[in-house]
Amino acid sequence: MDQRTRVLRALENQPVDRPPVGFWFHFPEEAAKGDACVQAHLDYYRNTGTDLVKIMCDGYFPYPIPETIRTPADWDQLKPLTAEHPFIREQLERAKKIREGAGNGLCMFYNVFAPFSSIRFGSSDEFVMRSLKENPKGVAHALETIAQSNSLLSELLITQCGMDGIYYCVQGGEVDRFTPEEYRRLITPTDLQVLEHANRFSQYNLLHCCGWAGIKNNLEVWQDYPAAAVNWAVYVEGMDLAQGKEFFHKPVLGGFDNRKTGLLYTGTQEEIQDFTKSLIRENPGPGVLLGADCTLPGDIDTQRIQWVVDAADEMAQ
C-alpha cells in the first residue's frame, strides 16, 4: 500500500496494511524560514520515510499584532489580514514549495494555530488573560478577527498550495486556566470558526489538543470538534490510544512520548522497535496513526524515527 493511500484510509477509519507513521520537530533557527526551511523539511521526510508530512510554521508563531495595541482597551482596533500580508503570503510560499519538492505521493498538512494561541503568541499570555478580565468584548473582537485571518490561511493552504488539510493546534484548555464552561463560552466559538472553515475545503483536517504546558487539559472541551483525527498528549493526559479513540469517536494519532525523557529519545533500537510493535498489536483496529504527543526535541537523531517506520513495515509483512 502506498503512503498516501495508507494515510487517507486511516483517516477514513478504513483498514490499512499497517498504521501510518508521522513525527515532526522544530528545525534550527538557520532553517526556520525561506528556502533553508523548505530543504530541511524535504531532507527530513526523504531520510526517514514517514508516511505523512506535517509542515511546521516556524518563524510565524507570533501573530502580527500592531504595536498600537498596548492596553486591554486597544483590542477593538485589530483588523484581519489579507492574502498579501507577509504572515500569510510567506507561509503559502513555504507550503507550495514543499509540496512541489515532495511531489504528490505523500499526504501533507500545515500547522495552523487556533486564534487563542495566535493572540497569545503575538502579545503575551499575561496580557491576554488580563485583557479577558478588563475588556472581554475587545478580546472577543480580536479573536474573531484573527479567526478570519487563520481561516483565510487555511483555505489557501488547501486550495492553492496542495495541502491535504491543516494540522490544527488548540491550546488553553489547561485545568487551571478556564473551567470547561468558560472555555466553551470564551474560546470555542473562534476555535470552531477556523476549523469549520477548513472543513469546507478538506475532509482531512487534523486536530492537535496540545499539552505543551505539561498540565492536564479539560479534554471534553474539544471532544466534539469536527476533525478527521485527533492527536493529544497521551503521557500528560493519561489517556492511551484506545481510550482516546473511544473518547473522541474518531481516528487517533499518537502513542509516543515526545519529551527527552521518553523512549523515542532515550531508548535503544530494540526497545523502540519492540514498543512500536506492541502499540500496533494493542491497537489493531482501523483509524490509528502512530506519532508523538507533540513536537519532538529538535536535536533528536532522526534515525530513531526510521526505526519506528522499519518496525511498522515489519508488522505489515
For 276-294, what is the mean pLDDT? 96
State pLDDT tens for residues 40-51.
999 999 999 999
For 94-111, what is the mean pLDDT? 97
Q: To which H or E segment does residue 30 belong?
A: none
pLDDT at 19 > cutoff 90: yes
Using an 8 Å Cβ cutoff, are 102 and 54 in contact?
no
For residues 93 and 38, give the distance between their C-alpha atoms in angstroms, rounded to a whole number: 10
Return the CATH number of 3-316, one of 3.40.50.880, 3.20.20.210, 3.20.180.10, 3.40.710.10: 3.20.20.210
Q: What is the mean pLDDT of the chain?
A: 97
What pLDDT shows up at residue 317?
A: 67
Q: What is the pTM of this model?
A: 0.97
As a whole number of Å, the end-to-end CA separation of the chain is 11
* Short-list 89, 81, 76, 75, CA closest to 63: 81
Q: Which three cell numbers stand for residue 237?
A: 493526559
For residues 72 and 131, give the distance between their C-alpha atoms in angstroms, rounded to a whole number: 5
pLDDT at 165 > cutoff 80: yes
State pLDDT tens for residues 203-262.
999 999 999 989 999 999 999 999 999 999 999 999 999 999 999 999 999 999 999 999
pLDDT at 177 > cutoff 80: yes
